[in-house]
Amino acid sequence: MTETSTTLDGIPYPYSPPREIAPSLWVLDGTWSNSLGRRMTVVRLRNNEVWIHNAMRLLPEDLKWLASLGFVRGIIAPNTWHTSDLLWMAEQFPQAQIACPPSFLQRHPQIQERTLFTSDVSYVTPCRELEFFPVPGVRFEESIVFHTLTRSLIVCDLMMNVKLDGAWLKRTLYKLNNMGDCCAPSRFLKWGLTRNQKELLAFVEQLADLNPKRLIVNHGEIFEGEGGNQIRTSFASLFH
């Protein structure tokens, strides 16, 4: 897949073209300010509403593609650290409502009227095709999204699935952080970002009970398979 130019039309980070990974479910894989990269996920509901998770700045032709999918209803900033292009995407689709962390809303009160919910509360779309779960016990205000029709769980920084490649030092650091060649939480999550381990692990069990068949992580490869088992065993291994 080709990437966009880093200078064309003010797009700061290259990204790959949209790819459909399941019916009415697309991802765009992009670079970012660090080597982990990022991923934008697009979901079209049966009523032709479109929801954008982790918005990235797009080229005009990809904005047209996005608009062609249906009525852009929601733009989701999944946690504290992934809000950089939320306002830009909201300008492109002024009819869309916003879901964002409470701290972002406090800094940008001008979006209050467009904010449907914040990442610290649960929400279910009226058609019940998207379910949003606030992650308790962590410091980064993350909301997890479950697409019921494809049984896909969309996760931002709660889990990663980074492949080990590149320089020896990079591979070693990733491995030490529990990030290499496995879909799992990082050690940094455990030691630096968890404020209540009991709350977090109880929530993780609820996620595992959803039995997703796909984990769409923001950093790394998409996990296909027994998602519930992967969630349960990877957290148990780290938080033993």
Q: What is the pLDDT of residues 180-199, one digit of tens each?
A: 768 999 999 999 999 999 99
Percentage above 70 pLDDT, the chain: 91
Q: What is the pLDDT of residue 176?
A: 73
Mean pLDDT of all residues in the chain? 92
Per DSSP, the three-state class of 182 is coil
> Which amino acid is located at 60 in the chain?
P
Question: What pLDDT was estimated at residue 169?
Answer: 66
Tokens, residue 1? 């897949």
Answer yes or no: is pLDDT of 7 > 90: no
Q: pLDDT tier at 114 (50, 70, 90 boundaries)? A: very high
Question: What confidence tens digit (pLDDT) does each residue in 68-93 have?
Answer: 999 999 999 999 999 999 999 999 99
**Structure tokens, 76:** 């989701």
Distance CA 83, CA 17 (A): 21
Spatial separation of the C-alpha atoms in residues 163 and 101, rounded to whole Å: 29
Q: How far apart are CA 113 and CA 54, in angstroms?
A: 20
* Res 9: pLDDT: 64
Q: Which of 35, 33, 42 is nearest to 84 (CA)?
A: 33
Query: DSSP states of 97-118 as a string?
Result: EEEE-HHHHHH-GGGGGGEEEE
Quote the pLDDT of residue 167.
Answer: 72
**Closest to 190 (Cα-Cα) out of 138, 131, 228:** 138
What is the per-residue pLDDT across 155-189, written as a single tens digit (0 to 9) for each? 999 999 987 676 766 667 777 766 776 899 999 99
Place of tokens 């398979």: 225
CA distance 142 to 132: 10
Q: Which CATH architecture has domain 8-157+214-226?
A: 4-Layer Sandwich (3.60)
> What are the sequence ranges of the domains in the chain?
8-157+214-226
Residue 133: per-residue pLDDT = 98
How much is the pLDDT for 170?
Answer: 64
